[in-house]
Amino acid sequence: MDNFTFYSPTKFVFGSNTESQCGSLVKEFGGTKVLIVYGGGSVVRSGLLDKIKQSLSASSINYSELGGIVPNPKDDKVYEGIDICRNEKVDFVLAVGGGSAIDTAKAIAAGVPYDGDFWDFFSGKASVQKALPVATVLTIAAAGSEGSGNTVITKVDGMLKRGAGSDCLRPVFSILNPQLTVTLPAYQTACGAADIMAHVFERYFTNTRDVEITDRLCEAVLLTMINEVPKVIKHPDNYQARANIMWAGMVAHNNTVGVGRSHDWNSHGIEHELSALYDCAHGAGLAVIMPAWMTYVKNHDIMRFAQAAVRIWGCEMDFQNPENTAIEGITRFKNFLSSIGLPVTFKELGAKEEDIPLLVKNFGIGNGKTGGFVPLGKDDIEAIYRLAL
Amino acid sequence: MDNFTFYSPTKFVFGSNTESQCGSLVKEFGGTKVLIVYGGGSVVRSGLLDKIKQSLSASSINYSELGGIVPNPKDDKVYEGIDICRNEKVDFVLAVGGGSAIDTAKAIAAGVPYDGDFWDFFSGKASVQKALPVATVLTIAAAGSEGSGNTVITKVDGMLKRGAGSDCLRPVFSILNPQLTVTLPAYQTACGAADIMAHVFERYFTNTRDVEITDRLCEAVLLTMINEVPKVIKHPDNYQARANIMWAGMVAHNNTVGVGRSHDWNSHGIEHELSALYDCAHGAGLAVIMPAWMTYVKNHDIMRFAQAAVRIWGCEMDFQNPENTAIEGITRFKNFLSSIGLPVTFKELGAKEEDIPLLVKNFGIGNGKTGGFVPLGKDDIEAIYRLAL
């Protein structure tokens, strides 16, 4: 196990009707003027936005609004939000929605006290040192952004999708009401599930030895997803299964399951180029990429893939030929993704073989290599895209 | 799953040599004058206390000291610590040691700003509303106090062992260096392991339905303990196994594995009377009580015990007679505790059958009942003690 620091100071308020505590929580964490960041659509139609405003007003909290955040959120809304905060002396950013609203809120929170262009944090030119406090009211289990210090934004100019992170971007509180997710269509639910599972797998495939505790915690989250996701695909209004998935989504990404071990975020990176180019759901792109990535890198540590197959997918261990077990685990993962309605090939996603050179170029490593479980060069990236055809 | 709030704001700094960061961490969290609370013995002999003092001095932090904390820590040292803090204007309490030093530090931190007798928090007369910041440098994986808001203190007058808790008693930081635990004798290591496993089991046996995520997380910690503890009993200097156990001990008790479900703390309560009366190690007392408690209550939910047996202890499910599986799981737990050198009977612990009436009386429920998985009256408590003979 490697040395690590684990710091997850977010206050999580979980369960039915918890959104009514929003105003008092903002007050508890010192907010006086809030920017509410949201997408639109269901947050407005369902009456959730009105409830949040009422809760803020009941605690005498003033607010401004920034609606219209889209999936794979863009930098233009971040600039708009930063301007509002500066002009209206906002001291607290509240996201109401999923990963897109939350990530936009975080980027705004980091940008407000920063003298330069907020994109510096995403291009690697600067690191986030301070930020306005951020909080969330979550409406989809997926990105895990409600418990993480990370944000992913797409720069419209070039459609570059990049991430940034800092402990000061961890939400001060996050409200998780599973009831808010029961109206989600099956496809979006499944995309969220793929994202959650990917967050665990990116931590699970590690080169760090002697990590039994985090191996087991990773497996715990994945076993939960395998058990609970089919239930909500069949019965979207199953509150209890929604609750298990929603909390699993948080645990998957606040690093509870990933401390003290090297990670591999290449599947996320390889996928980001798909969702940047095609504007597909991130989770759908991951469903296409992750099994291909696993197939490509499995020989690096066949016993780790065999462990995943046995402990997560319930495969019988083939002691004579562990590779068979490893392959069977990947196959079951792919079948699981298909069974919950996700695409697992370029074709099913609507991605095009002829775009592969552009995807590889956009990945932007030139002649270098990525880090991770297996360092990958541009030829490897191309091979993984081709395995996903 | 029940509604819940999860708030674990402690900054955990984990790994070798991390104690050298102590001074800078106290500074980061605003401490200027520290009370160092410790036991004595190995903390002094190993040079750890000197290292901590050097680290504080290097960050220009002043300190006072309160040594001599004993296992099953007593109220007298808490009063002494409160006096020192008030007289010397201490604004930060730093525990160096295990659960006893940490719990004493927490009780002091709660007592300093409180007008009345600090015991009010333990007798149930008052709840902790504010406290000095507490931090820890952990030297044994056991109590989980490094990540929890709980403290257990024994009142010398009557030898009453009682607990108190508050989010404001959660340490602001905790330094966990597994290297500090490699010199622990096998018996103390095993006692710590029993405490950690008990913290999980007390959460695992629940009446709340649909708690797949926390069930799986509980099982993850227990599987880790079953895998790692025998390694350190055999090879005490196995850093990696120590590291896995140390982090498992934190996860077991900061409520990561227990949110959204009812708990059962009766085994802890029943044990507390043993360690209060005989001054035995808490973990040793738990090793005696937990299997007896499980045997006594198992019929309340035989399938939950069967689940534990299958998922945690690797038993084959007896589909024709699940009770056999449940019993086999309890037997394997008891055998495991024996195999790591712990007592599992009154006799092995040195407890006496003739003291049972006194133990039951000290438990102090009169004609009432405890809460938990199965509410217990005084006759039940007595029966459990007798099952442990």
The domain A183-387 belongs to what CATH superfamily? Dehydroquinate synthase-like - alpha domain (1.20.1090.10)
A9 → chain B, closest CA residue: B9
Distance CA B227, CA B224 (A): 5
**CATH 3.40.50.1970 domain position(s) in chain A:** 11-180
Interface probe, candidates B216, B223, B253, chain A, greatest A C-beta count within 10 A: B216
Query: What mean pLDDT, rounded, does chain B reach?
Result: 97
DSSP for A166-184, please give it: -GGGS-SEEEE-GGGGTTS
- With beta carbons under 8 A apart, name residues in chain A contacting B251: 213, 217, 256
Minimal Cβ distance to B6: which of A14, A227, A244: A14
Beta carbons of A260 and B251 less than 8 Å apart: no
CB A108 within 8 A of CB A164: no
pLDDT band at B39 (very low <50, low <70, confident <90, very high): very high
In Å, how far from its chain's centre is CA B310?
A: 26
Beta carbons of A212 and B8 less than 8 Å apart: no
Q: How far is A170 from chain B (nearest CA, A)?
A: 11
Minimal Cβ distance to A216: which of B15, B209, B224: B224
Minimal Cβ distance to B213: which of A213, A216, A244: A244
CB A12 within 8 A of CB A147: yes
Q: What is the pLDDT of residues A168-214, one digit of tens each?
A: 999 999 999 999 999 999 999 999 999 999 999 999 999 999 999 99
- Looking at chain A, the whole-number percentage of residues with pLDDT higher than 70 is 100
**CATH 1.20.1090.10 domain position(s) in chain A:** 183-387
CB A340 within 8 A of CB A190: yes
Tell me what the mean pLDDT of segment B129-139 comes to.
98
Minimal Cβ distance to B11: which of A7, A13, A241: A7
Distance CA B219, CA A213 (A): 11
Cα torsion angle, B353, B355, B356, B357, sign: positive
Q: In CATH, what is the architecture of B186-387?
A: Up-down Bundle (1.20)
Q: How far is B243 from chain A (nearest CA, A)?
A: 7
pLDDT band at B371 (very low <50, low <70, confident <90, very high): confident
Strands A150-155 and A160-165: antiparallel
Minimal Cβ distance to A4: which of B5, B15, B224: B15
Confidence at residue A254, expressed as pLDDT on a 0 to 100 scale = 97
Confidence at residue B349, expressed as pLDDT on a 0 to 100 scale = 98
CB A73 within 8 A of CB A80: no
Confidence at residue B21, expressed as pLDDT on a 0 to 100 scale = 98
Minimal Cβ distance to B18: which of A3, A9, A13: A3
- Quote the longest CA-to-CA distance of chain A: 68
Q: How far is A253 from chain B (nearest CA, A)?
A: 14
CA-to-CA separations, B47 to B40, B91, B139, B142, B237, in angstroms, rounded: 11, 25, 13, 22, 18
Q: For chains A and B, what is the number of CB pairs under 8 angstroms?
A: 126
Distance CA B361, CA A193 (A): 52
Cα torsion angle, A136, A140, A146, A148, sign: negative
Beta carbons of A213 and B248 less than 8 Å apart: yes
- With beta carbons under 8 A apart, name residues in chain A contacting B197: none
Contact status of B226 with chain A (Cβ, < 8 Å): no
Contact status of A14 with chain B (Cβ, < 8 Å): yes
CB neighbours of A136 closer than 8 A, spacing ≥ 6?
A94, A95, A96, A101, A102, A105, A145, A146, A171, A173, A174, A175
**CATH 1.20.1090.10 domain position(s) in chain B:** 186-387
Q: What is the pLDDT of residues B242-260, one digit of tens each?
A: 999 999 999 999 999 999 9
Predicted ipTM of the assembly: 0.96
Tell me what the mean pLDDT of segment A306-333 comes to.
98
Distance CA A293, CA A281 (A): 18
Contact status of A126 with chain B (Cβ, < 8 Å): no
Tell me what the mean pLDDT of segment B302-320 comes to.
98
Q: How far is A77 from chain B (nearest CA, A)?
A: 31
Tell me what the mean pLDDT of segment A255-284 comes to.
95
Classified by CATH at the fold level, domain A11-180 comes out as Rossmann fold (3.40.50)
Contact status of B1 with chain A (Cβ, < 8 Å): yes
Closest by alpha carbon to B283, among B256, B313, B253, B312?
B253
B246 → chain A, closest CA residue: A213
Closest by alpha carbon to B282, among B305, B263, B265?
B265
Q: How far is A60 from chain B (nearest CA, A)?
A: 24
Beta carbons of B241 and A12 less than 8 Å apart: no
Strands A62-66 and A150-155: unpaired
pLDDT band at A70 (very low <50, low <70, confident <90, very high): very high
Contact status of A6 with chain B (Cβ, < 8 Å): yes
- Looking at chain B, the whole-number percentage of residues with pLDDT higher than 70 is 100
Q: What is the pLDDT of residues B189-210, one digit of tens each?
A: 999 999 999 999 999 999 999 9
- With beta carbons under 8 A apart, name residues in chain B contacting A259: 14, 247
B41 pLDDT higher than 90: no
Contact status of B28 with chain A (Cβ, < 8 Å): no
A358 pLDDT higher than 90: yes
Contact status of A389 with chain B (Cβ, < 8 Å): no
